[in-house]
Structures are given as structure tokens and as C-alpha cells.
Amino acid sequence: MKASSDFETRFVTALHPLAASRVVQWVALLGLTAAYLQGGLVKALDFPGAVAEMTHFGLQPAAPFALAVIVLELGASALILSGFYRWAGALALAIFTLMATFLANRFWDMAPPDRFMNANAFFEHLGLAGAFLLVAFSGLADRSRP
């Protein structure tokens, strides 16, 4: 039992500088927001394509929905990366991800092989939403400490 504890102590001590590094934390947040930055930029640069995507998912009127998604993806990502109201940006992307997942990855309505691919995407997105909730709750906890 003691050897495991000693290993853990050495491991945590060795990794602490890396985990505490603001640069490493920012790069991790960049990875977390990468899909939303890419998605928002692609939609902004191909607005007709963004409108077509909204139409495909039955969102009407499509143009305002496309604009809202662009603003949400880029704006919330910017909040997370800047640290300014990081908790709000993370909470917004968690909620958005859950809503979009239930809209776009309805694997229970599909037949194989689409069912399997969409089930994987569905649960991956649940994990992503969970990561955003951790960022949001961590930010809120930091704000409440004296």
C-alpha cells in the first residue's frame, strides 16, 4: 500500500509544474474549443452552407439560426480562451453541445451502420459537454473562493 502512495506522490510532484502551467492549460482549452472555432469559422466563411445545414436539421428560419450558431461558437470559445467569463462560455458550449447532439445524432432512429457511428458521436459529445461543465464549474468555484 505504501509503495503505491509513494509512486503517486512522486508522479504528482513531477507533473505539478506541467499541470499548473498557464500555457499548458490554455493549449488544453484550445483543444477543447477547436471544433467550435473551426465550425464557427467555416460557417462564417460559407454562410450559404451554414444556412443549408440549419435547413437540413429543420431549424427555421435558417439564416438567423446560422448566425446565432456562428456567434455562439466563436464568442463562447473566445470567452473560454480569454478567461473573461470563462465559466459562461463553457456553460454555453455545454448546453449547445447537448442540444445539437440530441438534434444531429439521433442514433436510436437509425439503422446500422449509421446507428453505430452516430451512437459513438452521441456519447463522445456527451463527454465533451461534461468537459465544458467541468471548466464552467471550476471557474465558478474559483470565483467563490476568498
Residue 110 CB coordination number (10 Å): 14
Cell numbers 477547436 correspond to: 34
Quick one: which of 87, 109, 90, 108 has its CA closest to 98? 90
Position 2 scores a pLDDT of 58
pLDDT in tens, 3-24: 568 888 999 999 999 888 999 9
- Percentage of the chain modeled with pLDDT above 70: 96
Residue 127 CA to residue 70 CA, distance in Å, equals 22
Position 36 scores a pLDDT of 98
Residue 54 CB coordination number (10 Å): 21
pLDDT of 146 strictly over 90: no
Position 143 scores a pLDDT of 74
- 2: Cβ–Cβ under 8 A, 6 or more apart, which residues? none
Range of weakest confidence among 28-32, 47-51, 121-125, 140-144? 140-144
Average pLDDT over residues 52-68: 98
Position 110 scores a pLDDT of 95
pLDDT in tens, 61-106: 999 999 999 999 999 999 999 999 999 999 999 999 999 999 999 9
Please count the structural domains in the chain. 1
pLDDT of 1 strictly over 60: no
Residue 32 CA to residue 29 CA, distance in Å, equals 5
CA distances from 5 to 13, 20, 44, 58 (A): 12, 21, 51, 54
Model's pTM, two decimal places? 0.89
Domain assignment of residue 108, given as a range = 2-144
